Amino acid sequence: MLAHNIQNQIPFTLRSILKTLTKKARYMLSLQVFYFLIYFFLLMPIAGLILPATLTENLYLPHFIIDELMKSWQGAALYIGVFLLVFYLSMRLLYALPFFIIEKELTIFQAIKKSFAVPHKILLQLLIEAAVSLLVFSLIFSAVLFLLGWPVDLLDRTSWQFVPFFAGVILTCMQVLAFIYTCFIQGYLTQLLIAKLTIQKVPIKTKNNWTLPYKKTFIPLLVITFIVLSYFNINSIYQTLYTPNTLIIAHRGDTKNAVENTLPAFKNAAKNGADYAELDILETKDHQFVVFHDSTLRRLAGRNDRIQDLTAEQLTKIELRSGNYRAHIPTLEETITLAKSENLRLLIEIKKHGGESADMEERFVHLLQKEKVTKDYLVQSLYQDVNKRIKKLDPTIKTGMVTALNVGNLPKTEDNFIVLEDFSVTNRILFQANQANKDIFIWTVNQESLMRHYLQKNVDGLITNYPKRASELRQTINKDTSLRERIENQILD
């Protein structure tokens, strides 16, 4: 609405805008709200370019769902196809909200219909202009950041003791510029969007007599804010002097160089610097434990057999295939033997297929006790009854609660650690975990930016398909990292 009023030279006040929006609010209390929810969902792919980041940072498909889809060409095709369809629909719906707000008597449904009537030519022009503008502005912004960081590079080569202090102030300047840049981009794109609307301008002359309100209070407040932010940034720069203690946990082993949950995958995980290998176990027909994720053999062996219908001897003879890699299903005992030889600890997830024996937990605990690894290995499960029973059988075993999606506060549990998907992790959750003395393991962290983000927060553990890269990143966040790199990491974070 601001962009529309400015471009059409329509006088406005904050009160008049709020009054208009209040009148439109009645549609949110009717069945029209369902149209708005559908519209908002379809607009998510491009909402981040216009809406504030705080409103859109969590509007994405959880990474573990995307990772699972991308494991097969069918899943990848489905993901790409749905994404393109949603992107097309989001472009067609792009003008629904502007029409709804600007035109007083228009309902949400009518605004959506009107947006669909906008010619493809206008949308294509808008898309091209927005893409070119973003590219140009991003290059300019990057150049400014580079020039700001250049003095830090020069000073970092000296032994001046106040260099980190100077770097912290520079970081604050960069953050302020990043904030201004983000606001500018959102405002510019909104203006670009409204400029394409064919609404006749009203030639009204306005006086440019605007002055900064509360000038005597605003400027000192701005200076104080800058000083406080600089203080925290200086501390942050000093805190990145040391390598984080975050555990690197290979998700089902090194799955990029071997079949998941197999001995070659675990051997590669150890070779590539993983502290732990995460693996899944299922009970067989003869009450043994094999390392396997699914309840059937369809995905990796092309067979419909169920794990619970075959013995350990039968299962270990079955060849698994993943890309160009081949391997066999290992037993838990074989995996423990290999892990000991490779000095690799294990994070064992207990899966269920519905046909477990009544004493499954007793058999499992007895095996760990026999192998003398109860104090070294970690055990996790989706099933709280399993964890409680294991803890009761042997209190020395550290157990973890696996939660796929968590909304709100930290889950309550008696387990030692909580395993959360990246989508569910917030600063609030990390703070609550620290207060409750619970470790937090995050899965599945495969993007380098996310790895760096959580390593800088020094979370307890990262479960990843790329243990080598995660291990390398952990080593780079130490006293040998240049101040410029630390600043770049903070900006990326």
Q: What whole-number distance in Å separates Cα of residue 228 and Cα of residue 220?
A: 12
9 pLDDT band, cuts 50/70/90, is: low
Of the candidates 183, 180, 175, the one whose C-alpha atom is nearest the C-alpha of residue 50 is 183
* pLDDT at 375 > cutoff 90: yes
Best-predicted range by mean pLDDT (58-72, 85-99, 351-365, 440-454): 351-365
Average of pLDDT values for 458-471?
96
16 pLDDT band, cuts 50/70/90, is: low
201 pLDDT band, cuts 50/70/90, is: very low
**pLDDT at res. 63:** 72
Best-predicted range by mean pLDDT (110-119, 228-237, 269-278): 269-278
Between 210 and 318, where is the model more confident? Answer: 318
Average of pLDDT values for 401-417?
92
**pLDDT at res. 199:** 47
Region of 252 (left: φ > 0; alpha: ψ -120 to 50; beta: rest) is left
Report the predicted TM-score, pTM, of the whole model to 2 decimal places.
0.70
Q: What whole-number distance in Å separates Cα of residue 34 and Cα of residue 109?
A: 10
Of the candidates 158, 186, 241, 214, the one whose C-alpha atom is nearest the C-alpha of residue 49 is 186
Q: What whole-number distance in Å separates Cα of residue 452 and Cα of residue 33?
A: 40
Measuring CA to CA, how many Å separate 329 from each of 259, 300, 404? 10, 10, 26
Average of pLDDT values for 408-419?
95
**pLDDT at res. 421:** 93
Q: What percent of the chain has pLDDT over 90?
A: 48
Between 411 and 27, where is the model more confident? Answer: 411
**pLDDT at res. 93:** 85
Instruction: Name all domains of the chain by residue range, CATH numbers in brackets.
Output: 2-239 (no CATH), 247-477 (3.20.20.190)
Strands, E, within 332-397: which ranges?
345-350, 378-381
**pLDDT at res. 47:** 57
**pLDDT at res. 73:** 84
Q: What whole-number distance in Å separates Cα of residue 289 and Cα of residue 306?
A: 14
* Low-confidence winner among 205-214, 270-279, 388-397, 435-444 (lowest mean pLDDT): 205-214
**pLDDT at res. 34:** 73
Average of pLDDT values for 304-322?
97
* Low-confidence winner among 48-62, 209-223, 269-283, 284-298 (lowest mean pLDDT): 48-62
481 pLDDT band, cuts 50/70/90, is: low
Is the distance from CB of 414 to CB of 393 less than 8 angstroms? Answer: no
When the pLDDT of each residue in the chain is averaged and rounded to a whole number, the result is: 85
